[in-house]
Amino acid sequence: MRPIIPLMPELPEVEVTRQSLVDRIGGAVIESIHVGKPLRWPVGIDVDTLTGWSVGEISRRGKYLWLPVAGNGAKARRSGGFLIHLGMSGSLGFSNGSQPAGIHDHFEMVTSRGVLRLTDPRRFGAVIWGDSLTEGMPAKLLAGLRLEPTDPDLTAAYLHARLKGRRVSIKQALLAGDIVVGAGNIYACEALFRAGIDPRLPAGRLSRPRCQKLLDEVRAVLGQAVAMGGSSLRDFKDTHGSQGHFQLATQVYGREGQPCRICQKSVRRLTQGQRSTFYCANCQKK
């Protein structure tokens, strides 16, 4: 069996991180911030100036997390936040800080409620300051993001119109991110299988009814992945330190040569755009 390249944290993993953190750090007061080895981009602020600021409610946009903070006392009118990306191998942890930072912990925020750490062995992640989501570097990074999978504007008619005339495969169209964000490789493979759509089908040939079926399955797969804590194929853990389990429930992903759970034919693997695609040629039709 050919090796599988582990995936970076995708939308479900980022959403799991948000959910495991939102009720724990909100309202905390920053006591200190420590920055380790450089990440993908500079933080962009003197972190010492944020001591005494309060943490707001963490949110998500695509695969980015936004951790807002606001000044207190004389600085009460000042606010901003950190845009966080987990990169290829990153994860956030939130604990009482009893353990010292490790060699791969490159951002640490000590608060009145606990210590937030970004652990990132490959250092492709990022923690970037912005005065708001619509200003500076955060605005630039988020500008190209399209609809969220749960966005009511993401309809079968919208998808069908955006795919019209495209010759690229439907799998690659899903991964491109210029229609919908968050349908990463493992989840695109699973959604296409559940929708009965061959991943090699030219995107422009997908009918409107099949667009609806695909959207339904994308949402179902991502929802199941979040409920199962995401996929831990390499380094990902939530902020409690727990691994995800969706990788144990996949129908086709990572199952090359194994029997399809529906028809018992062998699951196949091919490479599309330098990504491994797993599918059942019997169950998924062009």
pLDDT in tens, 139-172: 999 998 999 999 999 999 999 999 999 999 999 9
> Using CA atoms, how far apart are residues 51 and 29, in angstroms rounded to an integer?
8
Q: What local confidence, expressed as pLDDT, does residue 69 receive?
A: 97
Question: Residues with catalytic annotation?
Answer: 9-10, 63, 275
pLDDT in tens, 68-87: 999 987 777 799 999 999 99
Where is pLDDT greater, at 67 or 229?
67
Q: Strands 79-85 and 126-130, how do they pair? A: antiparallel
Q: Spell out the domains of the chain, with CATH numbers in brackets.
A: 11-142 (3.20.190.10), 156-279 (1.10.8.50)
Helix (H) or strand (E) holding 14: helix 11-19
Structure tokens belonging to residue 214: 């695909």
**How many residues in total does the chain contain?**
286
By the 10 Å C-beta count (0-12 exposed, 13-18 middle, 19+ buried), 204 is classed as: middle
DSSP state, residue 254:
T
pLDDT of 235 strictly over 80: no
Q: 44-64 as b/e, with b when 16 or more CB fall inside 10 Å?
A: beebeebeebbbbebebbbbb
pLDDT-derived band at 62, boundaries 50, 70, 90: very high
pLDDT of 275 strictly over 80: yes
Q: Note the pTM of the prediction, 2 decimals.
A: 0.88
160-164 contacts: CB < 8 A, separation 24 or more? 160/206, 160/207, 160/208, 160/211, 163/203, 163/204, 163/206, 163/211, 164/204
> Using CA atoms, how far apart are residues 159 and 209, in angstroms rounded to an integer?
11
DSSP string, 30-52: EEEEEE-S--SS---S-GGGGTT
Q: Say if residues 230 and 16 touch (Cβ distance below 8 Å).
A: yes
> Using CA atoms, how far apart are residues 112 and 123, in angstroms rounded to an integer?
27
Angle between helices 185-195 and 208-227 (to 10 degrees): 130
